[in-house]
Every structure is written in C-alpha cells, then in structure tokens.
Structure 1
Amino acid sequence: MGNLTVLQAKNAKAGDKLGDGDGLRLDVDKNGNRSWVFRYTSPKTSKERYMGFGSADEVSLAEARDARDEARKMIRNNIDPIDARNAERAAAKLEATRSVTFKVYAEGFIAGREAGWKNDKHRQQWRNSLRDYAYPIIGHVAVADVDTAAVLKVLRPIWDVKKETARRVRGRIEVILNAGKAEELRTGENPALWRGHLDQVLARRKKSEVRHHPALPYEEVPEFWKSLAGEPSDAARMLRWVILTACRFNEAADIDPGAEVKGDLWTIPAIRMKGEREHKVPLTNLALAQLPFRPVSDVTLSNCIARHTNTIATTHGMRSTFRDWAGDCTAFPRDIAEMALAHAVSDETEAAYRRSTALAKRRALMEAWADYCSSAISR
C-alpha cells in the first residue's frame, strides 16, 4: 500500500512534493497544478530519470500506482519505461501516417496550392497527369511507403514514349513527396529525385530530341523593341516582361506581383518552375515599368510578336535570343547566363552556392540586356 491517501492528494498545496512510495510522488507547482511523477534509475544508463504520469486532476491515485507498477515491471525486465513509451508513441504516429495515401495527400497538396495558379491549364495538367499515370500505381500507397521502385513503376512505361509528360510527372511526384517530408509523413531521401538518383537508371533526353523554338536574332532586338515599346496593350507589356526577365511563358502567365515581386527582385515559386526549384530574378527599372499587366495566352503573345517583326519567332524563343546575345556580345561567364535562364549548372552543391552568391552578377547581366534591348530608342 502507498503512503498517500486520496484526501491528502486532493488537499496538497503549492510547492508540495508528496511521496507515495516506490518512486511515485505528487508534485504541486506554484500555481497549484498537481501532477504525478515517477523517479527511477534507468536500467540502460544507470542514470536517474523522471517520468510523468499526467495531471492528478485527470489521473487518479490508483491509476498512478498502476502506471508505477507497470513501469517497475519494465525496469525489472531491463527496459527503460520512458524509452518504451517514446517508442510506442513513435509507432502510433507512424501508423497514423500509413492512412495518408499518396493520392489523398496529393489531392490535398494541389487544393492548397492551386489558388496561386492563375493558369487553368496548369491546374488541369497537374490533376490529369497524376490521375492518369501516378494514381493507378501509387495512389493507394502510403506517402511514407513510396520508394524508388514504386516511382520507377510509374515512369518506365512512359519514359521513352511520352518524354515530356514523364518528365513533368516525375517532377510533380518529387514536389509532393518533399512536401510530405516537410509535414513529417515520411523520412529519408526523395525517391523521385533526378540528379544523382533516377538519372542513374533512366535514359537522359538526347539533344536531338529537344525541340527548338524559332528565335528572333539578337541583332534585330533593338529595332523590334523600339516598335514594341510603342504598344500599350497587356500583351505588349507581358511580352516586354518576358523578354527583360528571360522567363518562360507560364512563369509570367501565373505571376502574382503582390506576393512574388519584392522591391527589385522577382521570386518565382518552385511549383511553377520547370526544374521545380524556386528561382530569383533581379529586375531592372525597365522590367518593373511593365507591371502590372493582365496575363494573356501564348497565342496572343505570338500575334504581338508578329505585329512588330516579319521574322518568325516565338515567345519561348526569346530565351534563346537572350542566351545568344549573352554568349556572343558580353564577357559574362557562361554559368551566369545559364543561371539567368534557371538552367542547372555544375553539381548540386556548387549550384546551390552559386544561386546564393551570383545575384549581383546576374543583376548586372540583366541591366546590360535591358540597355541593349532599348538601345535603338535613344538613337
């Protein structure tokens, strides 16, 4: 039998530490909150430990004694009761994650993000690609259990026959699993990671398979810009923004200036980037002068291009125009121009370092590009 009575436990005062025997005691803090504490020596480390059994308002004296007796039984069996409880909680938490399937989590992820996607086509592509290719294979699998073999089972049937779709599906799976890890639904490396992982087992795209978009020769840009600068339409403003930032169409079409443009820096969320990584774009005064604009379709931008030049060129081709100019007409390092286009450079560690340190150099490059584009206006 213990030393405490129910009445003594009920009437305990602030600051009391009332022992019940065999390591169990009732502690009362300065605010009068009563809690059960079990003091013992760990059979693993031989160190003194304190294990809480809960509030005395919720756990009775009898229940606290039962918990103590169970803990003492564990100690006799060379088990540390705190370690055992922690392991039990971890197992319960892990079991709870098993009920969150990839499909359930992915649908929730999309629902939470799509409010920021202004392009309806972009929303539909996310849902449709996962519905058609990922969900039939891994939709029922717990987020925690999606592994490399499962990802490859999704990708291999389409990797060589639907190359662009497969690339996008892989990227979307990677983003979703990264989010799941952030929410502690899984641990370890991302099985959909490309560099240093899936690129070791899946074929890379050959350069001959890359579709090139008709580009405006950079020599024609100043006169083209001079004409384009006189058009006040949203299409013209958006096209000028695309040219001055060297961005892709969808990156501009889904822009949320209030959230993404801070001062003279545009941060494009990873979800909208081809490489699924956040991209920062230094903005010139000329670029900032194009905001705001109402996003228009790629076809509308193509028509806008045609109004100001007889040369066949596309919106995406403007990126090639910028890259050719940077390589032929400037002394900026190759990696700086590639980073301005959000292309991967060198290995992953060096790329992360360069992204954080090359912003000033990229800003100088974009200033030079803006000056070149508008050079015919001052002539």
Structure 2
Amino acid sequence: MRSSIVPYERTILSGYMSGYSFLLEGMGMANENRLTEKTLKAIKTAQHGERVNDGGGLVGQVRGSGSVSVSFVYQFRSPDTSKQREIGCGAWPVDSLAEIRARRNTYREQVRNKIDPIELRRQNQADLEEARRQEHNRRLAAQREADAAAKAVAAEAAAPTMNTLFAQWDELHGATLDAHWRAVRQSHWRCHVAPVIGLLKIKEVDTKPLLDHLDRMRLDGNAVTANKVLTLVRQVAKWGKARGYVASGSPLLELDPPTKSKDPKAQQKAENFDAAAYLAKHGDEAIGEDGEDDKAGRALSFAELVELLHNKLPASTQANTGKSMICFMLATGVRGNQAVRLRWNWVVLEKRLIIFPAGSMKARKMHHVHLSDFALEQLQKMAAIRTGDFVFPAPIKENDHVLRSNVGNDITARQFYRQDGERENAYQARLAKRLKCRRARQDLDRYNLSAGKWTLYDLRRTAATRLCEVTGADWDTIKRVLAHANDHGVTARYVRFSQWEDRCAALNALGTAQAECQAGQLPDVAKASNQVRLKQA
C-alpha cells in the first residue's frame, strides 16, 4: 500500500500525521519511538524532502543530496507565548536515534517546567558569548600586564649604569679636553670608580662604597688623587643631571671634596713655634715670604739655581733632553704638559718666538712666548739632535714626545733627604730600598738643594717668582707671560694691549739672570739693592 502512494500524497499524509501526532502528544496519547535504525537506513535519496515522525513531538525531514540524512526537530508549544515552535535535536546518521531522543526528552522536560528551550538556548548562548568576551578581555588584560612587565624589565635592564654615563660624558665632553688630561680622567675612573660603583644603575647608586674607597686612599697617602676622583664623579653627575640621566635628589650631586683644614701645622702653633729654628731650616731666603707654608710646592731661589744650573745639572746622568727641558721651563714659565708637546712647527727661531696654538693651551687660547738667549740656547741644543716633529723627543718611541712623568721621575729619583725626626735604622732601610734603583746608585742625591725637595711642577713657580723679582713685581706682565686668565672683565675685550715688549724685556731679564746662575754667579738682581724695574704700561 505504501509504495503506491505518490510523493505528493505522501507529503500530505506525512504532514497530516505529524500534526496529528503533535496533537496526540499534547493530549498525552501519542506513541513514541516509532522509528528504528533499520527504518531510517531504508530511506532512499528519492524521498528527499519527506518528513518522518518518531512521536513525542520529534519529527525528521529527509535530506537526499548525495547521501541520505534526516534532520530532527522537536515541536512544542512555547510556555511563554503559547505559539508552536521547533528546536533542532540533531541529524541522523551523524547523531544516533538515542542521542536525538535524549535531546528531545531534555527539551520536553524544560517545556513541562514552563521553560522555552529556544529562549533558554539563546540565553545560554548569550551567557556563553559574555563569558567568552570576558575571557577574551581577561586574556587581553593579562597580555597587556605581561607586556608592561616585560617592558619594565627591559627598561630596567637598559637603564644606564655609571660606566655608561661616564662613557657618554667622555665621548661628548672628554673629547674637548687635552688628550693627556682626558687620559688621566679615564684612568681615574677605570681604577677608582668603575670597580666600586661602575656597574650600578644611576638611580640605584649608593655613594658610601665610593667614599669608603676614597677614605682608604687618603689614609694610604693618596689624598690628592682621591679628591680628583671625587671631583670627577661630581662633574660627571652634574653633566648627567643637565641631560636627564641623574635625578635632582641623587646623592651623586652632594659629593664635595673635603675642604682644607685651617688648623696650623704643629710647628706653626703658637706654643711650638721657634723663629730661629724656622730660619735655620729654611734659610734667610724665607724672610718676607708670608704664608708660603700654606702654598703648594715651592720656588727655587737664585742661590739654589746657581747650585742646580752650575753644579748639579751638568754633573747629572739625566738625558740631555730632560736637562734642556728643565732649563727651558725655568726660562719661559710654560707648563710641563705644554713643554713636552712642543713641536718644531710652533717655533720660529729667527724671530725668537714660540706660538702655542689654542688646542695645546689649558685655557684654549693661543699664547706667544718670547725666547731669551738662555731659552734659545736650549732649543738650539735640541735642534742639533732633532729626530722628528717634537722639540723634546721620546728616547725610544719614534716621532713621539718625552713623557712629563719620565722627566718628573728623573728629578725626584735624584733626591734623597733625611726626614725630620727620622731614626737612623729607618733612614738606612729607606736608603737601602732606594739604592736598588739604577739611577739612585749613580745620582742618589745629585739634585738635592739647600732648601729641600723640589719637583718638575716647581719650575713654573720658580719662573713666576723670579720674574716677579726681576720686574719689580709687575704682576700684569707676569700674568701675560704665564698665560693666566685676564681678570679685567669686560674691559679686556676692548683694550687690545698685549704688553709684548714688557713680556720680552721680563723674559730677557730672567734669562740673563739664569745665564749668570749657570756660570756660577749669583745674579745682581738677587741683591735687594739692585732690582730691575720695567716700564709700566
């Protein structure tokens, strides 16, 4: 009978039966589970579009494109609107009949409990979407937090250290300094700052370890170097503050070199001082030198210059380069670092003139120096043994200048004095140690002078002091000779008077006096009754 029903009639009948089944279910009279797996497998593709009824509101529709499948829906009347609605329960054969019926039973139970399955699913879907959105937002927030933490870690890792700050300072500011002084600052940082606080972040720097290190240096007798290191760190910190690397409240900005104590030495205290003992130690040349004990270094007197130039220097085993440089500095008053770097290109012998370019000067201003007969003699000696560009060449290295430290060491290594209050055994131990040096064995005390120890730095002080003596205290001329800063302020910008003639006369007078010292004679100018006074500008 069934096979004789045409498709159209089958559709009508199927729809009728479906509606009838729904009606019966609502009345509690419908049969359920009418379909079997065997029945579904028997459906052909030609039955595409037909509906099958499993009872209990479960209705399927045949899909026959390619392979047969049946999509099932549960038909119910909404408890909310009382309208007939359908909700999908799955598709056979992807889902088994048991799974499809279980979903139908779940939906039917919800309807019996006055819950619309479609609205519940929509609500669940909305809740799921909201949960997904919240999870997405949570993950985004977590990712942002992780990114921020990673950036913070990277920023912390990239935060500049003290060594980084000094490298930038040296590249930008240190490059403007004289090569020697730049190397000195690099050495100070490398030896005394980098090992202590160099690897610390600028914002985390604690100055106590550095100060402790510098205090130990002072106890070891290196107070001058300690103060220079402290000044360098503060200079670098101020440079970094101006560029935003160092915070305003950083302890680096509070570093100050210790001020020199105003307390007099033990021998200068009122209850201890003995004028006769003082003159016995320093000689009559100390008379009139008020406050000289507080000044760094000393100036050699003309009497000492007679000792040095006539006796000590010629008999010394020091190299001729060093000897000529000592005489040259005494005759011109130039700084040691300027003397060792002097080039022949800066010298015009026929005009008795040296022009130091701005790049070689401490104040970065060009400086002219007149050559007296005594100074000219030193350059002529060096011209006779000229080996390269430098006036005072290095002994070994080709086309390089002699080191200032070498000349300074040659001077100090040829002096040996008994210290005040030193015991004999301590003196002998110090002497034995000194005699291990080759130069000391040859010239142990060759450069000892009557007024005591002297250094390379004292040569410029000697030239300035003796210039004062031969010019009758013409301070303006002496400042010009020494290339010191002009203290006339704005006026100096308008007054273009170099005092060149006075400078030449002063250096000539000094050179004449030094030539007399070299000849073994105390210059007449050293006698108070015969001072040479220059014409005032």
With normalisation by structure 1, the TM-score equals: 0.47
With normalisation by structure 2, the TM-score equals: 0.35
